[in-house]
Structure 1
């Protein structure tokens, strides 16, 4: 069997971060060049050839359309390159779920695409970056990894990008999977899938947009009024995601203002600020009457990404948007 050839796309993040001290609490994300980060991996004896390409060297809080566009283009080229068997993206953990989700529905599933990060910088005591990366190589090198969509590898778990979410600020096992569990468990020595590829042969669900419209997240809070909704419309928001209380609720004056926005053709998606749970249609809020969309299992960050792509592709009708959010 030939040695797998893995394209490694670097964007920065904690996995490429440096604190300057093994015990420091602070650090600079994305400070290490990709080639510097990859150099020690040769000593691990990984059964793969790694080809590096640096996209950015930033903390993931600063990632945006330009980096997403470059990542998508590099992934698309690799999908068409017979010499490349898999793709790894090194990425900060703060927005890994957004990048992974965006790529998940704008790329085909023909080759594995794996995001990997770290919760501790490269020079910290007990850094997790090296192990996470070795695990990502194990996943990206496995022929059974194709057909599963974009994945995130952290903490010895393989998570589907659609389900992965960061649930802790600093814990080494910061990521959770909802509503489905992990796709596999992985160590540098072993990979155990929990089921067959569930998206084998799928093409991209949506074309990658030429630009992304302004879609805002509005977080509901007790005692708030309708003025934040009006301010978002005044700055040209083309969609609004409500990070609502409970099952996507908000004070009555806010719901009324959002209903007026929906009537003007601005899609409104109800998600929840709660850490975990589904937002169903017509629970507490009359979606049918107000023209709202229920986010279902997607949290506010992913809901915003999906709504941006839908709006960029001219999909703004509430029924069509709801169908996209219902798709598993």
Structure 2
């Protein structure tokens, strides 16, 4: 008889970090290996069999395309493993929203895929890592978690990858969801979903490519010059994401330079550096050929634009439809 299990792919981060003192401020991320981490988890006596694999042991600021490819391939294989109930990826919080969104768009929704991290090192007083992981086990083992895309579990809340973002540098309650907020509430002993699955039976939306097109983010600031755009184009950019003021705005010189980039065949997305709010289309977008990011912030807008370009979706009208269905 096949024993059902949850696969745990470890990448490091604060959840595997060690400070050497319960009250020390600084720490080294990615110090605990998966075997040592799961030995600590075993003391919680969770009602699940966990099978661990170490993919990396890094701070997530060092996340890279090669590791993304390996995680994607392993999670894809898990979708077709009859013994696997779901997947948990332990991950640093700095780039968790990018990893989650990339996998969310390139994996089928047949089984839960859950990212879990921590804001405090494993040996810090009040460490949140084991609780977040225990919550992730409950989510990954719940059949109702399927059909919701990739999920992020932090501070007793479940966020969809389409919404999740890190919104505080230090607080345990560091993650928010926009525009929908959390999609569930979880503790080690309970799980409450706030609505039905919205992607049940959905295949991967886009193919995953090893070599993704180069898409820099142009961050707007007062007094910036068009050199910011020129330098990105000279560096081989195939697409650009503007992290603009307010509703995706930028100085006139930047907007003109971005419109010229579109005429050269470079896709341009207007997003906002503001924490919350939609960036909708405006009249100038049609003439300039810009794409409005809608609810996606700059980091996730970049991921989506890379996927669209890699999958041959270059027409701004078609790309706008894809940005609108998040």
**Is TM > 0.5 for Structure 1 vs Structure 2?**
yes
Q: Deviations over 1:285-309 (max 9, x none)?
A: x100110000000000000011111
Note the C-alpha offset of 1:210: 2.7
- Pairing of 1:110-149 with structure 2 (within 5 A): 110-149=110-149
Aligned partners of 1:70 and 1:87: how far apart in 2?
A: 14
* Aligned position for 1:317: 315
Aligned partners of 2:294 and 2:132: how far apart in 1?
A: 30
* Aligned position for 1:212: 212
Aligned partners of 1:319 and 1:30: how far apart in 2?
A: 43
Q: Deviations over 1:57-80 (max 9, x none)?
A: 111010010010000000011111
Match status 1:156 vs 2:156: yes
| Equivalent pair of 1:120/1:127 in contact (CA under 8 Å) | yes
Aligned partners of 1:14 and 1:185: how far apart in 2?
A: 22
| Equivalent pair of 1:3/1:47 in contact (CA under 8 Å) | no
3-state SS of the aligned residue for 1:240?
strand
* Aligned position for 2:289: 291
3-state SS of the aligned residue for 1:115?
strand
Aligned partners of 1:210 and 1:73: how far apart in 2?
A: 11
| Equivalent pair of 2:3/2:83 in contact (CA under 8 Å) | no
Note the C-alpha offset of 1:4: 4.4
Aligned partners of 2:154 and 2:94: how far apart in 1?
A: 13
Larger mean CA deviation between 221-230 and 3-12 belongs to 3-12
Aligned partners of 1:172 and 1:324: how far apart in 2?
A: 33
| Equivalent pair of 1:4/1:47 in contact (CA under 8 Å) | no
* Aligned position for 1:58: 58
Match status 1:89 vs 2:89: yes
Aligned partners of 2:197 and 2:289: how far apart in 1?
A: 36
TM-score (norm 2): 0.98
Aligned partners of 1:256 and 1:120: how far apart in 2?
A: 45
Aligned partners of 2:313 and 2:20: how far apart in 1?
A: 48
Aligned length: 325
4+ long deviations beyond 4 Å: none
